[in-house]
């Protein structure tokens, strides 16, 4: 086998980082802290500033799915009457809420739930289930996207009002006032962390790319869940310096990098390693994705963070179909992409229902065909590795023929 590149050593720090994080979550109440279950597009910095540890059911479901526990844990939610047609993160997490099954040693009951529909609408319904199950209040941040229209100050005012209501709720939950200076410090760390993340993600512009999108998927947990803490900052500083070395020394993540591909939608978590090896063996490097991009620029204006968050949720997280197409075309130039894989993710209607429109538009504009893979981000009952494998083979055959012709 000549398709093994030297692994990125810093990634091995993650095991320790994650286990410490969950250990702290387990002891939060003893330390006088509260626990909030939140969605991944949430103001982590605000929670940390209030001594509330944000816990991410989505991330916990990733652990369950990566450990191939989906079938076992989903059995519990299905026994409660939840049909498997919903998002497999939710199915696993509701299963966890009923069974306690956890590959990270368990999570205590939350004191509070927070979610936002700027990410998807399933989260609202999922967190409503959690709110009934744990008998704790749910705060929904309602974000009315205005898509391609001009900036809507009415919507911005509405989201900002809710941010203020959130602060009031957090203050009532903890019995403490929000310490604005502390928040500033955390925001400063957060911004530096995101800058490192941006550099890391963008280092894939180099040929060969020093890391793959798979590496990004593995490396992204701290910037999501511990953004604003020094542990995350240190990790990305170390990771960035290693990636910089790889760039300097021309070390590619995929030896004999022949194809530089775009990946749309979420990973197929249970098959990360399988798919990574499969693509590497075909000389294909997943180089860019939109999925890890949001954390590359979460700068929050320290003068008026609530205003800034409101703007961020309204504008930055709005993956309007046309915007996604434009973004992919920009990524194509920036990352010198020569192939596009779209994961039609049964679990994520939000990102998948328009996939065919995106594929058509991008192919038309670039002249490069795209491949749609029908799968699921975490439930192996909804895809077949054999089928994925054969579709990949035919896709690369087409790309290879195009190269010959071109």
What is the binding site for other proteins (CB under 8 A)? 80-83, 85-87, 90, 117, 120-122, 124-126, 128-129, 132, 140, 142, 144-147, 152, 154-155, 157-158, 160-162, 165, 320-322, 344, 346, 349-350, 352-357, 360-361, 374
CB 347 to other proteins: min, Å: 9
Q: Which is nearer to other proteins, 125 or 192 (CB)?
A: 125
Measured from the CB atom, is 38 or 361 closer to other proteins?
A: 361
The sign of the torsion formed by the CA atoms of 14, 15, 17, 18 equals: positive
> Cα separation of 243 and 340, whole Å?
24
Please give the full DSSP string across 174-196, using - where no structure is assigned.
HT----HHHHHHHHHHHHHHHHH
Locate 384 and state its tokens.
Answer: 């077949």
Smaller CB distance to other proteins: residue 64 or 166? 166
Token pair in block for residue 85: 């047609």
Q: What is the dihedral of CA 334, 338, 341, 342, to 10 degrees?
A: 50
Q: Considering the complex, what minimum distance in angstroms separates the CB of residue 124 from other proteins?
A: 5
Nearer to other proteins, 62 or 355 (CB): 355
- Residue 321: CB minimum distance to other proteins, A: 4
- DSSP assignment string, 241-285: HHHHHHHHTT--SSTT--EEEEEES---GGGHHHHHHHHHHTTEE
CA separation for the pair 355, 357 (Å, rounded): 5
CB nearer other proteins, residue 231 or residue 350: 350
Whole-angstrom Cα distance, residue 177 to residue 235?
30
- Rounded Cα distance between 246 and 209, Å, is 9
Nearest approach in angstroms of CB 264 to other proteins is: 13
Q: Which is nearer to other proteins, 12 or 154 (CB)?
A: 154
What whole-number distance in Å separates Cα of residue 169 and Cα of residue 76?
A: 32
CB of 217 to other proteins, least distance (A): 22
CB 158 within 8 A of CB 132: no
In the block, residue with structure tokens 């192919």: 363
Please state, in angstroms and as integers, the Cα–Cα distance from residue 164 to each residue in 143, 296, 402, following that order. 14, 25, 55
In whole angstroms, the minimum distance from the beta carbon of 293 to other proteins comes to 19
**Measured from the CB atom, is 197 or 319 closer to other proteins?**
319
Alpha carbon 115 to chain centroid, angstroms? 15
The span from the CA of 347 to the CA of 305, in Å, is 33
By C-beta, is 126 or 197 nearer to other proteins?
A: 126
- Backbone dihedral angles phi then psi of residue 97, each to the nearest 5 degrees: -60, -30
Q: C-beta of 168: minimal distance to other proteins in Å?
A: 10
List Cα–Cα distances, 135 to 127, 131, 173, 311, 369, in angstroms. Answer: 11, 5, 14, 31, 49
Looking at the Cβ atoms of 260 and 377, the one nearer to other proteins is 377
Minimum CB distance to other proteins, residue 304 (Å): 17
Q: How far is the CB of 374 from other proteins (least distance, A)?
A: 8
Min dist. Cβ of residue 334 to other proteins (A): 24
* 29 versus 98: smaller Cβ distance to other proteins: 98
Nearest to other proteins of 271, 376 (CB atom): 376
CB 287 within 8 A of CB 204: yes
**8 Å CB contact between 289 and 262:** yes
Name the minimum Å distance from CB 266 to other proteins.
14
């Amino acid at each position: 086998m000549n398709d093994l590149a030297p692994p990125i050593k810093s990634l091995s720090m993650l095991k320790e980082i994650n286990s410490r994080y969950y250990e702290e979550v387990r002891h939060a109440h003893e330390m006088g802290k509260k626990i909030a279950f939140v969605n991944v597009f949430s103001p982590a910095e605000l929670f940390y500033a209030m001594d509330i540890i944000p816990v991410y059911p989505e991330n916990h479901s990733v652990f369950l799915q990566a450990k191939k526990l989906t079938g076992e844990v989903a059995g519990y939610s299905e026994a409660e009457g939840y049909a498997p047609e919903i998002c497999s993160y939710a199915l696993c997490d509701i299963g966890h809420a009923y069974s306690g099954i956890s590959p990270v040693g368990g999570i205590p009951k939350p004191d509070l739930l927070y979610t936002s529909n700027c990410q998807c609408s399933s989260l609202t319904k999922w967190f409503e289930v959690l709110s009934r199950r744990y008998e704790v209040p749910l705060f929904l941040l309602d974000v009315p996207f205005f898509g391609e229209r001009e900036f809507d100050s009415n919507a911005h005012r509405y989201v900002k009002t809710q941010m203020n209501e959130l602060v009031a709720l957090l203050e009532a939950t903890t019995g403490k006032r929000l310490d604005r200076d502390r928040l500033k410090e955390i925001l400063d760390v957060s911004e530096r962390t995101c800058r490192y993340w941006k550099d890391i993600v963008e280092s894939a512009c180099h040929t060969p790319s020093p890391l793959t999108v798979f590496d990004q998927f593995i490396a992204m947990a701290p910037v999501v869940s511990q953004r604003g803490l020094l542990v995350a900052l240190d990790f990305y500083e170390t990771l960035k310096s290693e990636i910089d070395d790889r760039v300097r020394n021309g070390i590619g993540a995929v030896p004999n990098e022949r194809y530089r591909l775009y990946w749309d939608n979420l990973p197929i978590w249970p098959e990360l390693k399988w798919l990574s090896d499969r693509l590497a063996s075909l000389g294909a490097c997943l180089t860019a994705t939109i999925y890890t991009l949001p954390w590359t620029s979460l700068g929050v204006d320290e003068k008026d963070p609530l205003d800034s968050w409101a703007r961020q949720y309204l504008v930055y997280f709005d993956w309007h179909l046309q915007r996604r197409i434009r973004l992919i075309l920009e990524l194509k130039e920036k990352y010198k992409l020569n192939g596009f894989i779209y994961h039609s993710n049964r679990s994520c209607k939000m990102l998948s229902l328009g996939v065919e429109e995106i594929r058509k538009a991008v192919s038309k504009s670039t002249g490069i065909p795209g491949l749609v893979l029908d799968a699921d981000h975490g439930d192996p009952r909804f895809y077949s590795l054999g089928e994925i494998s054969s579709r990949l083979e035919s896709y690369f055959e087409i790309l290879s023929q195009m190269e010959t012709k071109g």
